[in-house]
Amino acid sequence: MRIGELSKRTGVSPRSLRYYEEQGLLTSSRSGAGQRHYADSAVQRVSLIRQLFDAGMSSTVIATVLPCVDVPRDLDVAENTFSAMMHERDRIDADIAHLLETRDALDVLIRANSRHRADLSTPPGPATQPA
């Protein structure tokens, strides 16, 4: 299938599909006129790539992980993939910890703002007369 059809079947833009090829995530053959042609299996491949991107992985990490799909019985590939996935998990854990710290800091500001708004909405008490 040509790039337009793959784009239509996957919902991924032709520009992104070309990017996937540049990064070594997807392959195509070329016609005599230089047009890209993809195997039917490219639909599943693009779906997997999208899932990995949606999980927050970079194209570099995805390129490390995909060989496990391509060569499932190679121990070295499986070990490299495992290492890359553990590294990504650690990165995500660090991101989560940072987000939780940021949320906690924001909660402090929200409480302070709530008190300030309550103070502003409370009418002042009677003015005291000087003696």
The structure's pTM equals 0.69
> Rounded CA gap, 32 and 55, in Å?
37
> Rounded CA gap, 123 and 113, in Å?
17
For 11-64, write each residue's pLDDT tens digit. Answer: 999 999 999 999 999 999 999 998 999 999 999 999 999 999 998 889 999 998
For 79-98, write each residue's pLDDT tens digit. Answer: 988 998 899 899 989 999 99
Residue 78 makes CB contacts below 8 A (sequence gap 6+) with: 68, 72
Q: Which domains does the chain have, with CATH numbers?
A: 3-119 (1.10.1660.10)
> Rounded CA gap, 55 and 30, in Å?
31
